[in-house]
Amino acid sequence: MSLRSNPFYKFVPVFASFWLLVVLFGLGILIVAMYNQSRAASWPTTDGVVTRSEVETLRTSDGQELRPIVKFVYSVEGVEHIGDRISFSGFSSGGRSAAELTVAAHPVGEKVVVRYDPADPSRSALRVGVGAMELIGALFMMTFLIVGVGMFWAWRTVGRACNPKVPAAGRRVMVRGGVTRVRLALIPPLVWALVAVFVLICVLSLMLSLFPIGATQTTALVAWGLALLTGAGVFAWRNMLAGGGRDDLVIDEAGAQLRLPRGEGRDEPLQIPFSEIRSIDATWKQPEWRTLRPAHAIPPAVDITLDGGREETVARFIAMESAELFADWLRVRLNLDGDADTST
C-alpha cells in the first residue's frame, strides 16, 4: 500500500488543521489581552485599597486550578467602585507559587494605584501594559505554532517523496550548464531554524515560568531576542552549508561523471564515471560501516553497484516507495536500464 494512501497520512492534515485553529484561537485571545493591557496603560489613575486577597481553588475538568483573588475599593469623582481585575491577560492564575506570590504582593489593607477606564470607571485593573508574563506567554505559544507548521511540513514532504509525478522523489533538482544538482538533504534550513527556536523556547519558557513574578519585561525581551537570533543563526548556517553543495548529488553530463556527497561511509565526495555504473537499486539493508540495531531501523537507501561489485549508497529515504521512485528517476537521468551493465 502506498504511503500516501495510508489512513494515518490522510489524518495528519486534519489533525494539524485542528491543532493550528486551536493555537491561532489562543494567540488571538492573547493578542486581544495584550492590546487591552497596552491600552489600559494610558488610563488615568486613582488610589485604592485592597479589601480581599486570597488564593481560590477552582475545580476544572483537568483537576484543580489555583487563582489569586484580589479585590480593591477605589473612588472616581466621588463614586465608589469595587474592582477585582489584576490584569487583562489572566496570567495571574496557574500554579500555587504564582498564585501565592500574587496574593502576597497585594495584602489586605495595602494602598494600590488603580487604572480605570475613563469611559467606564467601573472597569479597572492593577497591572497594565504589556509586561513579562504576556511576552513569555506569547513566546510559549510559538512552540505550539511551530509544532502545527511542522506537522504540515512533514505531511507535505512525505506526499512529495512518494508521489510518482514529482521528480527525484521530492528532492530539489537544479539544472545549470549541463550539470544537474540534486539536494539530498531532506530537512531544509528553515525547518532546522524552527527546530532550534522550538528547543530554545521550551528551555527559556521553563526557566522563566519558574519565576513568574521575578521575570521582568527586559528578561522577556531578551528571551525573544535569543529565540530570533538563534533561528536566524541556524538558518544562515544551514543555508550556507546547503549553498555550498555539501549534500548535493551532482550529475555532470558533459563530463559523464556522477559525484556522490560525503556521508554513508565516505569521508570525501566520490566521483564515479558513468561507464563504471552497473546498476541502481533501492535496497533495505544495513551498511557495513554502521552497527545500528535492529536492522529494520535503518531507512531504505538507493545504492549504486559499480564494476567489481562494489556498492555505494547515494542517500537514504523515508520509505522504500520513495527510494524506488528516486532510483527510477536516477536511472532515467543516466540513461540506464535497471539491470543493464553500462560497461559494455
Same domain for 169 and 315?
Answer: no
Determine contact, residues 106/66, Cβ cutoff 8 Å. no
What is the arithmetic mean of pLDDT over 78-86? Answer: 93
Amino acid identity, residue 7?
P
- Give the model's confidence band at 68: pLDDT under 50 very low, under 70 low, under 90 confident, else very high: confident
Same domain for 138 and 207?
Answer: yes
Is the model more confident about 263 or about 62? 263
Instruction: Name the residue with cell 491577560.
Output: 89
Q: Name residues whose C-beta falls within 8 Å of residue 236's C-beta, 6 or more positions apart in sequence.
A: none
- Distance (Å, whole) CA 135 – CA 31: 10
End residue of a domain, out of 113, 128, 143: 128
Determine contact, residues 224/140, Cβ cutoff 8 Å. no
What pLDDT does residue 314 have? Answer: 92
Region of poorest pLDDT, from 15-19, 109-113, 229-233, 253-257: 253-257
End residue of a domain, out of 128, 148, 178: 128
pLDDT at 94 over 70: no
Same domain for 197 and 109?
Answer: no
- Give the model's confidence band at 337: pLDDT under 50 very low, under 70 low, under 90 confident, else very high: low
Amino acid identity, residue 126?
L
Let me know if residue 311 belongs to a domain: yes
Same domain for 88 and 225?
Answer: no
What is the arithmetic mean of pLDDT over 82-100? Answer: 72
Q: What is the pTM of this model?
A: 0.76
Segments in 65-182 forming alpha helices (H):
96-105, 132-161
pLDDT at 6 over 90: no
What is the arithmetic mean of pLDDT over 155-179? Answer: 90
Let me know if residue 267 belongs to a domain: yes
End residue of a domain, out of 180, 208, 243: 243
Same domain for 153 and 212?
Answer: yes
Region of poorest pLDDT, from 112-121, 135-144, 300-309: 135-144
Let me know if residue 321 belongs to a domain: yes
Instruction: Name the residue with cell 553543495.
Output: 245
- Give the model's confidence band at 286: pLDDT under 50 very low, under 70 low, under 90 confident, else very high: low
Let me know if residue 140 belongs to a domain: yes
Return the C-alpha cell found at 175. 539544472
- Give the model's confidence band at 210: pLDDT under 50 very low, under 70 low, under 90 confident, else very high: low
What pLDDT does residue 341 have? Answer: 40
Parallel, antiparallel, or unpaired: how do β-strands 79-83 and 63-76 relate?
antiparallel
Let me know if residue 82 belongs to a domain: yes
Residues 150-165: tens digit of each pLDDT: 999 999 998 999 988 9
Domain that holds residue 183: 3-23+133-243
- Give the model's confidence band at 287: pLDDT under 50 very low, under 70 low, under 90 confident, else very high: low
- Distance (Å, whole) CA 9 – CA 241: 31
Let me know if residue 55 belongs to a domain: yes
Return the C-alpha cell found at 196. 532550534
- Give the model's confidence band at 336: pLDDT under 50 very low, under 70 low, under 90 confident, else very high: confident
- Give the model's confidence band at 290: pLDDT under 50 very low, under 70 low, under 90 confident, else very high: low
- Distance (Å, whole) CA 318 – CA 299: 6
Let me know if residue 88 belongs to a domain: yes
Region of poorest pLDDT, from 10-19, 239-248, 252-261: 239-248
- Give the model's confidence band at 88: pLDDT under 50 very low, under 70 low, under 90 confident, else very high: confident
Same domain for 139 and 122?
Answer: no
Same domain for 236 and 274?
Answer: no
- Our count of domains for the chain comes to 3
What pLDDT does residue 139 have? Answer: 85
Same domain for 123 and 184?
Answer: no
What pLDDT does residue 247 have? Answer: 85
pLDDT at 214 over 80: no
Same domain for 323 and 235?
Answer: no
Same domain for 157 and 232?
Answer: yes
What pLDDT does residue 280 have? Answer: 94
- Give the model's confidence band at 342: pLDDT under 50 very low, under 70 low, under 90 confident, else very high: very low
Return the C-alpha cell found at 109. 489593607
Same domain for 153 and 229?
Answer: yes
Let me know if residue 36 belongs to a domain: no
- Distance (Å, whole) CA 92 – CA 100: 10
Residues 11-65: tens digit of each pLDDT: 999 999 999 999 999 999 989 988 998 999 999 999 999 999 998 887 766 667 7
Same domain for 48 and 194?
Answer: no
What pLDDT does residue 339 have? Answer: 45
